[in-house]
Structure 1
Amino acid sequence: MFSSEEVVAVFLGLARTQAASRVPGIAAQTALSKIKRALPTDDAERIDALLGVMTRTSQDGGVAPDPAVMLTVAEAVTLRHVLDLRYVGGKGVHSRRTVHPYGLVAHSDRWYLVALDTDKQEQRAFRVDRIRSARSIPGTFAPPQQSDMEGRLLALFADADYRWQVVLRIRETEDHIRGHLPQSVARLERLDRAAERGREDAPPWHRAVIHAENLDWLPSVIAALDCEVVIDRPEELRSRVKAAATRMLHAAGGDQ
């Protein structure tokens, strides 16, 4: 009663529902099993390959991409085939990319393909729902040593080519900092100055490197950190923080 793509769409929807819960529902498991038994062997193997390369971060992918694209990409990841993509960028720019597909990751309501863009020779994250077509072309590739696709995706987000590069020094534990600057937003490096003389119990210093398109959101994050923070750069962020502090003093009825 379903076309092959409709079966895949239903299957992926049930798979997402099952993965979104820490305790998978019996109904979802039963439905998945029934669908797999009804599929031809080749189609069932394709879906197994797809599920085998799907990775989820703390949030499940809520935007459903084209099932045919997902299957093609998953097969290419499994078989290490080079892909030709027709892709629509964030500003609506259409482009054609040749990539080495490394993995599929769901994060913050989106599915992403982590891949090497062969023209730029850089790893990139492509939103799967923006891939208009995907086809395998002759050639294979060796996968990277790094197998943590989730970590790689978050690192790509943190290193994105935005207008500003912000460098902060923050004196707090990594867990505390990550509560305000997650891995997808900032790279953290623990510095050697773990404690000052006479304050051996003080938390360590960390350097946070943030790539941001604008700076307006950062003063409130710095205030929310509620700890020692030093702005290394840019100077424009210092100006915004000073302006925000002045507004707060006015609001509190403090002296100018």
Structure 2
Amino acid sequence: MRRAVEWAITTRRSVRAFLPEPVSTDVVEAILNTARFAATGVNMQPWKVHVLMGAAKDRVCAAIRNVDDDPALAAEHGDEWAYYPLEWTSPYLDRRRAVGWQLYSLLGIEKGDKASMHAQHGRNYQFFDAPVGLFFTVDRMMNQGSLLDYGMFLQNIMVVARTYGLSTCPQAAFMKYHRIIEQELALGAQEKFVVGMSLGYADEERIENSLASEREPASSFTTFHKE
């Protein structure tokens, strides 16, 4: 059992190219039914999930891409809340740059090739061709603690998906277009967009899926206090 859990955690990675093979609603529901056991302060269970498949997914993706491909329209949109630091410093900036250039190098995208970078980034808004897209929202009354709960819920989804032979990609890129998502899905006024996620079968033939970002060993970020 321990090895199975470790395998699911260590083989999880952000997949950026998926096969067209469908994923049934029963499997998606089974994953969510397991993920719901994430720890949550005073049992608030703040998560709400919108599952996009078929025509609904295509409609939302098209609406976002139409705006993202128009610089003037895209400039009118922005994240509702800050996911990333407002000022980047080392070592976080170094890690961000490293994974970005590793991906672009694999894809043959050279520094300064803004058109190719835009096209690759735009694949976020197609869920990287995954058959299932997930959007997560939270009640606006919730505070920062609920985002901690949400992180554990999201991790559960990604780990449990591995046990079904599925892969995922959590996507903060969708945050920029939260207003489009709210309109297309007719979200209630109290629903605040959190993040998106792709779910499906990884296309292992695609070069971008060979990317595995490096992680620091526990010894680099852990201090033991014994006295």
**TM-score band, normalised by the shorter chain?**
under 0.3
More strand by percentage: 1
- Give 1 or 2 for the bigger CA radius of gyration: 1
More helix by share: 2
Which structure is higher in RCO with an 8 Å CA cutoff and minimum separation 6?
A: 2
So what's the TM-score if we normalise by structure 1?
0.19
